[in-house]
Amino acid sequence: MNIERRKLLGMAGLAPALALAKGADEPVAAAPAGSRLVLTDFQAPEPVMIDNCAWRGFSDRVMGGVSDGNVEAAEVGGRRCLRMTGRVTRDSGGGFIQMAMYLGGRNSAFDASAWQGLEFLVYGNDEDYNIHIRTADVRWYSQSYRATVRATPEWQTIRLPWSAFEPNQIDEPLDTSAIMRVGLLGWMREFEADLSVAEVALYA
């Protein structure tokens, strides 16, 4: 597959940076320590996102499950956000609902190799949620790189270094230069999900 890698540079407090076309093998300098690159910010009246970023919500019904999920713009705890609610069930072989941030098109990927990890501003219902990363190496729906976080009923910033993401059913190590999608999921158990995200960023 011919994957176009998009490299972005940004500093804390600045508007989302412009995508720069680079060669796939060109080395990327590390971002300055303490800097951040905001990928999505829902807190303004109109959400701010980097170029080509898009959010979608879906559930295990795409594979025959019966979990119920809803993803919508909302205001929670005084912040504008994207909110995912629903009932997660393992019935009919399913077990998830998801809101996913797509960072690349069919033949493009996002290069985050200059950064140390992902940062999320979230509000939950004191339940565990999964964060899944899909890269250009992922070829099957069950493959991803996964971490689990606890989302409490208050706004909190959660930082996950790349080392926190464990490969699932894939042998290749996490390639942070070729990220396609980051998903937040109510995952594989019976519970009522209620998770809001106000901002997603990269940090150094």
- Where are the domains positioned within the chain? 33-203
Q: How far is CA 114 from CA 16, 32, 126, in A?
A: 15, 9, 32
Element (H, E) at 199: strand 191-203
pLDDT at 92: 96
**Whether the predicted pLDDT of 3 surpasses 80:** no
Phi, psi angle pair for 89, to nearest 5°? -140, 150
**Whether the predicted pLDDT of 86 surpasses 90:** yes
pLDDT at 27: 65
Write out the two tokens for 144.
């991803």
- The strand pairing partners of 203, in sequence order, are 36, 117
pLDDT band at 4 (very low <50, low <70, confident <90, very high): very low
Q: What is the DSSP letter of 177?
A: T
Using CA atoms, how far apart are residues 201 and 56, in angstroms rounded to an integer?
18
Nearest to 39 by CA among 27, 47, 29, 28: 47
**Whether the predicted pLDDT of 11 surpasses 60:** no
Using CA atoms, how far apart are residues 62 and 70, in angstroms rounded to an integer?
14
Q: Give CATH for domain 33-203.
A: 2.60.120.430
* Interval 169-187 mean pLDDT: 98
pTM reported for the whole predicted model: 0.87
pLDDT band at 25 (very low <50, low <70, confident <90, very high): low
Three-state SS at 162: helix
Give the torsion sign (CA, 102, 85, 63, 172): positive
